[in-house]
Structure 1
Amino acid sequence: MKQLTFNELPQAVIQLYDKLESIERLLLQKSQPEEPDRWFDLSELCAYLPEKATKPTVYGWVHSGIIPVHKRGKKLYFLKSEIDLWLKEGRKKTYAETVAEANNYVKRKGVKYGH
C-alpha cells in the first residue's frame, strides 16, 4: 500500500467517498425486494409516502425537481421503485460527506483556492 503525503490526503478522501457512494447506491438497489414495479398517480403517491404529503406539497417537489416523476400530457406518474430509492437516499449527509462532496465539486470544476 502506498504511503500518502499530507497534500495527497484530500484527494484520497474524495476518491474514497466516491467509491463508498457507489457501493451505497448498489446496495440500495440490491436491497429492494424482487416484486413487480408499479406506477402511482398523484393520489396513490400521497397515500404511499410515509409522511402522507399533500398534493400541493408533491406539486412543489415536482416543480423543484426534488422527486422523480414521469409526465404524460398533464398527468404525473411516479414509479414505485424510484420513489423507494428516493426515500432511502433522503438521509441527511454527515459533515465529512458534505466536505468531501464540496472538495470533489471544486476539483471537477477546476476552482482554485485563493492563497
Structure 2
Amino acid sequence: MKEDELTFEKLPLAVAHLIKEVNELKLLIESDKKATPQERKPIGIDKASKLILKSRSTIYEYARKGLIPCYKTGRRLYFYEDELIAWINNGKRKTHAELLDEIHKEINYGKNRFSRR
C-alpha cells in the first residue's frame, strides 16, 4: 500500500496488510532460528592437518604444549574446524610499525604514571 492512498475508509485494509507483513516477518525469524543451531562435528587429526597445513607430529607437539585448541578422549585428539580457523586467524604477526607503536605506548605509560611532580 502507498502512503498517499491511506484514508479512514481504507484503514481496515491497511491494518490487514500490516498484520500480513508482521506474520511474514515472524515466519522468517522462526525459520532463521531453526536453521541457526548447526551441530558441530569434531574432526580427527588427519583432517586437522590438512586444514591447517601442518604435519601430524607438529599438531601433536602443539597439542602437548597447549598451543592449539583440541580435545582429548583416551588416546585420540579431536578438533573443531571453526576453532582451528579462529586459531589461525589469531596467529597474525605484528608488523614492525605495530611493534614500535606498542613499545612507545608502554614507555609513555610508565613515564606518565610515575613522573615526579
Relative to the length of structure 1, the TM-score reads: 0.49
Greater relative contact order (CA < 8 Å, ≥ 6 in sequence): 1
Q: Which has the larger radius of gyration?
A: 2
Q: TM-score of the superposition, structure 2-length normalised? A: 0.48
Greater fraction of residues in helix: 2
